[in-house]
């Protein structure tokens, strides 16, 4: 009978590869900002980790996403939602 010494190694590699694609959890997940990011941003796409951009880059990115929301007919962000989301993203942004 032929043995398959590579099978356990392949199975372990496949399991680890699945973990590599898992999103990084948001910082302070119970905060209002994290909840809003997950709900409002996650409604259209994978939730971005705040450290993907610098704090100075988030206002332009949020403005772009708000335009896209409008193009898709989605409800616009309320002023308080926008402030909370931007404050959260900037507080946890890349240095």
The answer to whether the CB of 93 falls within 8 A of the CB of 35 is no
pLDDT at 1 over 70: no
Confirm whether pTM is higher than 0.85. Answer: no
Q: Which of 15-19, 35-39, 56-60, 85-89 has the lowest mean pLDDT?
A: 15-19
Q: What is the pLDDT of residues 5-52, one digit of tens each?
A: 544 443 444 333 344 455 679 999 999 999 999 999 999 999 999 999
Please give the helix or strand (H or E) that residue 30 lies within, else none. Answer: none
Confidence class of residue 72 from pLDDT cuts 50, 70 and 90?
A: very high
């Amino acid at each position: 009978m032929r043995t398959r010494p590579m099978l356990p190694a392949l199975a372990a590699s496949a399991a680890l590869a699945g973990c590599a694609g898992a999103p990084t959890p948001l910082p302070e997940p119970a905060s209002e900002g994290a909840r809003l990011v997950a709900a409002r941003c996650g409604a259209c796409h994978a939730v971005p980790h705040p450290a993907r951009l610098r704090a100075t880059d988030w206002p332009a990115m949020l403005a772009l996403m708000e335009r896209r929301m409008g193009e898709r007919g989605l409800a616009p962000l309320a002023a308080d939602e926008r402030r909370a989301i931007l404050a959260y993203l900037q507080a946890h942004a890349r240095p």
